Amino acid sequence: MRLLLIEDEPDLLTGLARALRKQGYAVDVASDGGEGLHKALDAEYDAIILDVMLPVLDGWQVLEQLRKTRTTPVLMLTARDGSRDRIRGLDGGADDYLVKPFDTGELLARLRAIIRRSAQKPAAELVLGEVCLHTAARTVSRGGVPVTLTAREYVLLEYLALHRGEVVTRTQLYDHLFDENESTLSNILDVHVFNLRRKLGQELIVTRRGHGYCIE
């Protein structure tokens, strides 16, 4: 899944981006509202983490402009814990609202929830034959036996599972799994698909040559 993190506090930006990437997310970053809005409108993201107090354009302005054309899930961050600000954010089109300081685990859980809701598949488990994805814990089992996946392998599998029955192109996968600093010219996607088939069964992910991949 590809995320956009818009935050002007350097330490928080760096630390949160690192934590998200450790979970397998591809993360683009912006340190002010102007840059953030440009990126949000220029690329397709699975979710946006948006701070309220930003230079150039504040979070409210970014959200207002974004909602004119995009329905990307938005999790807002703010140091203000007043109900008026939470109401303003939610009424303005934010999908969730988290007050600083926050627990990273809670942020990750809220992020997973708004991504599931946006895919209109809010179930805590995604069942693909004998393979089961436990989306809250981000774990996978096959025939009831836990299977160890890397963070990136899990994200790839979850994305295909959320689009079950659809052919997902390689371009879509690159856009959602790799951030702006990663090269898309390598065979890394093929390696991840190979590993998933080896661990979960060759028949799980179908290759549609010239188109992409599909879980049928």
Concatenated DSSP letters of 158-214: HHHHHTTTSPEEHHHHHHHHS-TTS-SSSSHHHHHHHHHHHHH-TTSSEEETTTEEE
Report the pLDDT value the prediction gives residue 120, as an integer from 0 to 100. 62
Residues 6+ apart with CB under 8 A from 67: 92, 93
pTM of the model as a whole: 0.71
- Flag whether pLDDT at 185 surpasses 70: no
Angstrom distance (rounded) from CA 155 to CA 150: 9
Q: What is the pLDDT of residue 163?
A: 87
Helix 59-66 crosses helix 33-42 at what angle (to 10 degrees)? 20
The pLDDT score that the predictor gives to residue 47 is 95
Mean pLDDT of 107-122: 80
125-214 and 2-118 share a CATH fold = no
Give, in words, the CATH class of 125-214: mainly alpha
3-state secondary structure of 76: strand
User: Given this structure, which CATH class describes domain 2-118?
Assistant: alpha beta
State residue 182's pLDDT score.
67
Q: Which sequence spans correspond to the domains of the chain?
A: 2-118, 125-214
- Report the 10 Å Cβ neighbour count for 13: 18
> Distance from CA of residue 29 to its chain's centroid?
13
Q: What does the pLDDT look like over 40-98, one tens digit per residue?
A: 999 889 999 999 999 999 999 999 999 999 989 999 998 776 667 777 777 778 899 88
Tell me the mean pLDDT in the region 197-210.
Answer: 91
Q: What is the DSSP letter of 24?
A: T
pLDDT at 79: 79
Q: How confident is the model at residue 196 (pLDDT cuts 50, 70, 90)?
A: very high
Predicted confidence (pLDDT) at residue 172 exceeds the cutoff of 60: yes
Computed over every residue of the chain, the mean pLDDT equals: 87
User: Strand 206-208 and strand 168-169: pairing?
Assistant: unpaired
Of 91-95, 186-190, 197-201, the least confident: 186-190
pLDDT over 80 at 180, yes or no: no
